[in-house]
Amino acid sequence: MDKDSMLTHILQSEGPASLLGGQSPVTVINGSQHISPLTSGGPEARGPDGEADSGRPSLDSAIRTALSEGTKTVVLEGPDGSGKTTALQRLVVGWARGRNLQNFSFVFHFGLGRLNSLGGALSLEALMLRHHGHLLPGSVPQLLQDPEGVLFVFDDLDQWRHSLDPSALPHLCSDPGEEAPVSRLVAGLLHGSLLRGASFLVATRPAEGQKFPSGARLQVLGFLKPQREAYMEGFFSADPAAATTARRHMESTLGFYDICTSPRFCWTVCSVYKSLMDAGAKLPETLTQLYVEILARLIQSLQLNEARSRALVSALGKMASHCLLHQHSSCTKEEMDSFGFGQDLASVGVFLRVDGDGPVFSFHSQPMLEFNLATSFLLDASAAEGVEELLERHRGRADFLDVFLTGLSEPAQRRPLEAPLGELDPGRVADFARWFRSSSEATLKGRHKDQHRRRFHLLLQTQNESLVKEVAAASAQTGIGYGDPTLRDCVALNYVFSCIGEMELLNLYRTRDLTEEQAKALAPAMSLCRKINLSDSSLSPGAVPHLASALSGGLTEELDLSHVRLGEEEFRRLCEGLRNCKLRVLKLLACELTEAVCGDLASALTSGAAQLREMDVRFNPIGDRGFVKLCKALQSPLCRLQELKLQKCELTAASMEALMSDRCLLTELDLSLNNLGQEGALLLCHALRRPGCPIEKLSLSRCELTPPVFRELSSALRGGTSRLKSLVVGLNAVGDEGVKPLWEAVAHPNCVHEDLDVEMTGLTDECARDLCAALRAGGALRSLELRNNSLTDASVPALVRAAQDSDSMQEMNLQYNDISEDVFDVMDECGKIRY
Least confident range from 367-376, 440-449, 759-768, 825-834: namely 440-449
Q: What is the DSSP letter of 423?
A: P
Q: What pLDDT shows up at residue 49?
A: 41
With a pLDDT cut of 90, the percent of the chain lying above it is 61
Domains 3-222 and 679-835 share a fold: no
Does the structure show a pLDDT above 50 at 23? Answer: yes
pLDDT of residue 707: 97
User: Judging by beta carbons within 10 Å of its beta carbon (0-12, 13-18, 19+), is residue 227 exposed, middle or buried?
Assistant: buried
In the predicted structure, residue 663 carries a pLDDT above the cut 80: no
Q: Indicate the helix (H) or strand (E) that contains 43.
A: none
Residue 348 is given by DSSP the state G
Reported as a pLDDT band with limits 50, 70 and 90, residue 53 is: very low
pTM of this structure: 0.81
Regarding predicted confidence, which is higher, 608 or 293?
293
Q: Does the domain formed by 3-222 have CATH 3.40.50? A: yes
CA distances from 306 to 162, 201, 312, 315 (A): 39, 46, 10, 14
Report pLDDT for 315.
96
pLDDT band at 35, cuts 50/70/90? confident
* Helix extents (H) in 303-345: 306-326, 333-339
Taking only the tens place, the pLDDT of each residue in 774-822 is 999 988 999 999 999 999 999 999 999 999 999 999 999 999 999 999 9
Give mean pLDDT, residues 326-338: 88
**Tens digits of per-residue pLDDT, 704-734?**
999 999 999 999 999 988 899 999 999 999 9
Lowest mean pLDDT among 13-27, 162-176, 527-541, 652-666: 13-27
pLDDT of residue 381: 82
According to the model, what pLDDT value does residue 367 have? 92
Bridge partner list, 218: 76
Domain boundaries, the chain: 3-222, 227-283, 288-439, 679-835
What is the tens place of the pLDDT at every residue in 246-277? Answer: 988 887 777 666 788 888 899 999 999 999 99
Q: What is the DSSP letter of 533?
A: E
Q: What's the chain's average pLDDT?
A: 89
To 10 degrees, what angle do helices 677-689 and 707-718 make? 0
pLDDT level of residue 45 (50, 70, 90 thresholds): very low
Report the share of the chain in percent with pLDDT over 70. 94
Closest among 211, 226, 379 to 295, alpha carbons compared:
379
Of residues 135 and 217, more confidence is placed in 217
Amino acid at 13: S
The answer on pLDDT for 425 being more than 90 is yes
Distance of alpha carbon 612 from alpha carbon 336, whole angstroms: 68
- Residue 210 confidence (pLDDT): 62
- 59 has pLDDT over 80: yes
Q: How confident is the model at residue 17 (pLDDT cuts 50, 70, 90)?
A: low
Q: What does the buried/exposed string (b/e) look like for 303-342 if buried means 16 or more CB atoms within 10 Å of the residue's CB?
A: ebeeebbbbbbbbbbbbbbbbbeeebbbbbeebbeebbbe
pLDDT band of residue 47 (cuts 50, 70, 90) is: very low
Domain covering 679-835, topology: 3.80.10
